A = this chain, B = another copy of it.
Amino acid sequence: MAARRQSCLGIDFGGTNTRWGLVTPDGRITARASHKTNSDAAPAAELERLAGALKAFIKEQDADVCAAGMGICGFIDFEKQNLIVSPNMPAWNDVEVARILGGHLGMPCVFDNDLHMSALGESAYGAAKGVRDFAAINLGTGVGGALFLNGGIHRGARGITGEIGHLPLDPQNGPPCGCGRNGCLEAFVGRDGILELYRFLCDDGGTEPKARGQQELCRLASAGDKFALGAYAMAGEYLGRGLAILANLLNPSLLVIGGGVAKTGGPLLDPARKALKLYALPAVMEDLELKLSRLGDDAGILGAAHAARLMRD
């Protein structure tokens, strides 16, 4: 029981930066740090470097840490605690991340897909606290999701669940998707997909596009630019259809929306809510709430620390 009063280390291993924090049992991050990820490094070297940084951090904080958890983007065999492949780390295949990192740190270590960790964070400390069935949707460069069903992460046959970005919404006429198909949800709602919709609408209206990135587009929409608003409205309609599909299959009581693109707010989410209501069965809508992530960028750190605690308890 002593472990419950100790902090856990939560690590969010990203393709650009790796961030970590000390998390108390009640979900407060009492100290945090980060370093640049070396995405070209071999797994052994990068994990040893990370362990060195973490050990220095723990020493500096004079912290009593009982376990560590880490989220990383990729396909993971959770039971074997094996990273099969990660899009951010091309040299990492079949890596027993938790065993290696835990060995360096001298403490139990658990790792999981980053979206699973974020969903766990929202479940333990955020927008989904106490909710038995929910989906956490991440809107960023890609569009991904994690399913939390019957009180736990749904992993399916090999952990590739919640792939809402690759729902074939308009495979005949839709734009190309990074997965090689056409008209997937991500091709409309991913960062590049929305910008492409915007450029298409500008072109159609005989106007030169003013935004080149997502943040510029978001500012234009806030200022009432009709092409930016039109692009978000179209993307939101597709997002809402995807959410309705998820809802009609799984009857969750909550959808938690997070990620950089979700920060757009109303211009994207109002049309999404409208389409969700239109396409979800009325009986499914009755119990369904849609909320923004409450933990934002800290969901991964908090969820990873929570996973570490669950493993220890």
Contact = CB atoms under 8 A, between A and B. Distances in A.
A233 interface: no
A244 B245 CA distance: 12
Nearest to A159: B251
Interface stretch (A49-57, A108-116, A166-174, A209-217): A166-174
A241 B149 contact: no
Given A157-B287, A279-B168, A281-B163, A246 B244 contact: no
Interface string A125-168: 00000000100000000000101011010111111111110111
A284 interface: yes
A244 B284 CA distance: 21
Given A156-B133, A241-B168, A162 B249 contact: yes
B168 A283 contact: no
A91 interface: no
A207 B159 CA distance: 50
13 contacts: A75-B283, A133-B156, A149-B149, A149-B156, A150-B152, A156-B250, A156-B253, A157-B251, A160-B251, A162-B249, A167-B248, A167-B249, A168-B241
- Nearest 5 interchain pairs by C-beta: A156-B251, A157-B287, A157-B253, A163-B248, A168-B279
